[in-house]
A and B are shown apart, each in its own frame.
Chain A
Amino acid sequence: MTGVNPFISTSAVIPASVVVPLAAAALMAGFSRFLPRRARDLIAIAVALATTTLTLILMAASAGHPMIYWFSGWRPAGGMVIGIDYAVGPLGAGMASLAGVLASAALVYCWRYFDSARGRHHTLVLIFLAASVDFCLTGDLFNLFVAFELVAVTAFALTAYNAGHPAPLQGAINFAVTNSLGGMCVLMGVGFLYARTGTLNLAQIGQALAGHHADGLVVVAFALLAGGFLVKAAVVPFHFWLPDAYGSAPIPVCVLFAGVMSELGLFAVIRIWDTVFSGLAGGPGPRMRAVLLGLGILTALVGAVMALAQVHLKRMLAFVTMSHLGIYLIGAGLLTPLGLAGASLLVIGDGLAKSALFLGVGVVQHQRASVSETKLRGRGRGLAVTGVTITLGALVLADLPPYVSAAGHGLLVDAADRAGLPWLEIVIALCVVSSSAAVLRAAGRIWLGWGPGESPGPQAGTADDPGEESQDEPDTAGTNGGGQETREPPSRPERIPLTMVLPPLALLAIGLGLGLTSGVEEHAAAAAAAFSDRTAYAAAVLGGHGASVPAADRIAVPPTSAGRVLTDLGQVLAALLVAAIALDRRAARLRRALAAATGWLRRLHSGLVGDQVTWLAAGLALLAALGAAALH
């Protein structure tokens, strides 16, 4: 740092990071009919890139020094918070900039081929981006709820973008009903905490609760808040909507969902734990760690098993996402800065890789009109670049060094060791290898023509085979809403546009670049330490002493050892091996046995919203019981 107080020079950047995308979205909603198509695309991409830049500036400026911004100019007075604040730290700003990067990539990918329904698609993506930024930066509990709902409303509409097909519509209904109920839980939790503490500011609620013993109200408030956010984070048993929504949403939307939206749910859970509940009397940390780790392990395992069982590529990536979410929850749930740092790097690395995979699948879908692994067998010829992209992405899922995920994995494993839980490494490795192997198996079948072409198991009704394809192609009648002109026939260019091929490669390159950047682990550790420090956070928001506690810098980060690299390479080899076995004709009986053994799990994912809401109710009660055990 140069000694200049970054707060002064960058204070206008903080509101700008939400104002820019919001203003653009509003103007596009109002006037897109007067803009040519190319202008809409260009504006949307430019705004997404600008938002990314602004959040990157915030990430750099807030390192080691949280930035507090009071909207409407209402600073706390007389020990009471009056207005709404943004509490900007590098972790939140980093998460926001990941949203910006992925939104930019998704919009570039949309260029030319994607029918944006007169720009409304771009409007929704920009609002989604602004809501994500708000979600990451806000320091107010009710504002967090509003951001949650804004993310949700845009996401419901984007899921069902291909409204001419039943699957996206049904996925959107499941998604919308479960997540709306989740939102209600969050709001009830907000009400409970307000009734107890008389404030909506996270720092002030935490201050009011600190040192007190949790009673029924606090426990239930925790369960409702965490439960609501875990619906969004798709943690078992709140996860059933996720494959239905991610499996049927358009490809650019999947990128935003898998890379950002679910992660926001986890982000919120850790944020409210760190700022609000961690100060409760009785040292609830270790017991809460057990609860979060249990949920994380369950989610990671279910996701990994289900990913291997899919032949629908988007559903497969949906379950890969879910498995990853479980792993992030394991990292964050260790409730140590090192664990959170590892999870953060994994969120970035895996988020970029998963997005690249989704975009690669999109190219395949666009060119071959299918997303079924078995129907696509041997049909990858002519799509070599995409094949390489998908294979690379899959290897990265297994923590191929020196990609940034490998660094995150290293931190996470080290954090588990230090917490006295070295066996977590095995759980994580199992899940990582399964996810990676599922995608490698698909790549082997599609591009090398290996393996049998038929569906791997005879599970009619539960076979995760794609039904009617929902193509991301022009699907709006006419061109100007009211007109009755016949639409252009869907063009299937022989050459794949570069705007579809390059974004996934660019995302992988960013991840590789971050992995090669020295000191990325230290930065992550410092950001995580600042994020986890409740007293420093409260002091920064509410003023008072101890505002600049650079405890962050003192987290020792283990150096990358040769053993670490060998373990990662071992995971990559294991993933290749599992994929090979999955494709080998001689292992057919093994596959059938495994499919039979996991049939009950696949049947649980019935895709029926009534079942999903029932699980939601049960999950809430379970979470309250666990919360009571942890907090009392």
Chain B
Amino acid sequence: MSRRARLVFFAVAAAALAATLGAGLAGLPSFGRQVSAYARMLNEVAGPQRHVTDVVSAITFDYRGVDTLFEEFILLAAVAGISVLLRPLSDEIRELPEDKAPDRAIPPPSPAVWLLAVLLSSLLALIGLETVTHGVLTPGGGFQAGVILASGIYVIYLGTNYRTVERYQPDALLEASDGIGAAGYVVIGLLGLLAGDAFLTNVVGLGTTGNLIAGGTIALLNLTVGLEVAGGFVILASEFLDQTAVIRARRR
């Protein structure tokens, strides 16, 4: 199809699709007028049943915990997939950029920048830890905390140069964190089976509502997800960063 033909065809198709979506949306209950009995029931019982105050985390990690299990593997698969796609191929090499002025030593990062980066990174780490540990109480949990922790690590990189990152980035540890986090979800699920109940049944002591350590497996799953997401996101970003910084075509 030529561009013009495609645009005309799309205009017709999109108009028909708009009418279709309109017909569907028109059948929805008016905005803000209805909440399902299922949701009302869960809002009511989740607190007493699971000793958590954030019902969303109870649904995510307990009532519908299997969804989240597979969601974690979507992330794991995406990280593995991105590592595969962005791996250095046979016609590429990894090398640091050539020094434009080899006689001049690379200045070490200035102490002020370094200090700022460390401070900011510690702050992010604190926010991340707070987010993951309060998952059962307030909005936020393993996923959000993982991304915040990952960005904390990246802020440290901002305060230094890529040569240092290249040397000190703990690849094995990050991969292990990604894998253990995902495997941890499965293992916590197996606790239910070991206790003679169904997979992912919340069999750990529920604690007191309002405490940080409450909700049984919900808190544990938050932690393991945080571990996986933090490792996964650092790997993910570092694959893209590697492409920009160190992977280049082999000269022929």
Contacts and interface: CB of A to CB of B under 8 A. Distances in A.
State yes or no: do A and B touch (Cβ within 8 Å).
yes
A124 interface: yes
Contacts of A160: 84-85
Contacts of B201: 72-73
Highest count of chain B CB atoms <10 Å: which of A29, A188, A218, A478: A29
A154 B81 contact: yes
Contact of B27 (A29, A81, A215, A224): A215
Contact of B73 (A130, A474, A608): A130
B27 A218 contact: yes
B1 A131 contact: no
Interface in B1-47: 1, 6, 9-10, 12-14, 16-17, 19-21, 23-24, 26-29, 34, 36-39, 41-42
Contact of A475 (B27, B74, B89, B182): B89
A26 to B, nearest CB: 4
B43 to A, nearest CB: 13
Contact of B193 (A12, A224, A478, A482): A12
Given A72-B66, A84-B66, A621 B84 contact: no
Interface in A303-344: none
Nearest to A152: B74
A198 interface: yes
B202 interface: yes
A104 to B, nearest CB: 19
A368 interface: no
A543 to B, nearest CB: 16
A164 interface: yes
Given A117-B83, A217-B28, A476-B87, A611 B6 contact: yes
A614 B16 CA distance: 12
Interface string A143-171: 10011011001101110110110000000
A156 B81 CA distance: 8
Given A72-B192, A220-B21, A80 B38 contact: yes
B6 A71 contact: no
Given A149-B74, A614-B9, A219 B23 contact: yes
B81 A482 contact: no
Nearest to B28: A195
B89 A22 contact: no
A377 interface: no
Contact of A620 (B17, B95, B193): B17
Nearest to A611: B1
Contacts of B39: 198
B250 to A, nearest CB: 8
Contacts of A281: none
A453 to B, nearest CB: 31
B207 to A, nearest CB: 18
Contacts of B42: 82
Nearest to B72: A26
Contacts of A26: 73, 76, 179-180, 182-183, 186
Given A72-B65, A131-B70, A27 B183 contact: yes
Given A15-B193, A22-B69, A199-B38, A29 B179 contact: yes
A163 B70 contact: no
Interface residues of A, number: 86
Contact of B77 (A154, A474, A476, A610): A154
A80 B41 contact: yes
Given A73-B201, A611-B6, A82 B63 contact: yes
B12 A618 contact: yes
B20 A220 contact: yes
Interface size class of B (residues with CB under 8 A): 35 or more
Contact of B92 (A146, A215, A477): A477
Nearest to B183: A26
A71 B199 contact: yes
Nearest to B82: A157
A577 B93 CA distance: 53
B237 interface: no
Given A150-B70, A216-B23, A621-B20, A29 B182 contact: yes
Contacts of B20: 220, 223, 620-621, 624-625
A12 B173 CA distance: 33
Nearest to B235: A29
Nearest to A19: B186
Given A476-B89, A621-B13, A30 B178 contact: yes
Contacts of B175: 29-31, 33
A220 B23 CA distance: 7
B163 interface: no
Interface string A556-597: 000000000000000000000000000000000000000000
B143 to A, nearest CB: 14
A216 B26 contact: yes
Nearest to B61: A72
Contacts of A476: 87-90
Given A30-B183, A164-B89, A477-B92, A617 B189 contact: no
A484 B87 CA distance: 13
A150 B175 CA distance: 20
Nearest to B187: A23
B213 to A, nearest CB: 20
A601 to B, nearest CB: 14
A481 B74 CA distance: 23
A25 interface: yes
Interface in B180-199: 180, 182-183, 186-187, 189-190, 192-193, 197-199
Nearest to A138: B66
Nearest to A69: B198
Nearest to B21: A220
A606 B63 CA distance: 46
B29 A195 contact: yes
A112 B184 CA distance: 31
Nearest to A489: B90
B61 to A, nearest CB: 9
A217 to B, nearest CB: 3
A154 B76 CA distance: 10
A26 B198 CA distance: 21
| 10 A-B pairs with least C-beta separation | A30-B179, A157-B81, A217-B27, A220-B24, A198-B36, A621-B16, A15-B199, A618-B13, A26-B182, A216-B23
6 contacts: A15-B193, A19-B189, A23-B186, A26-B183, A29-B182, A608-B1
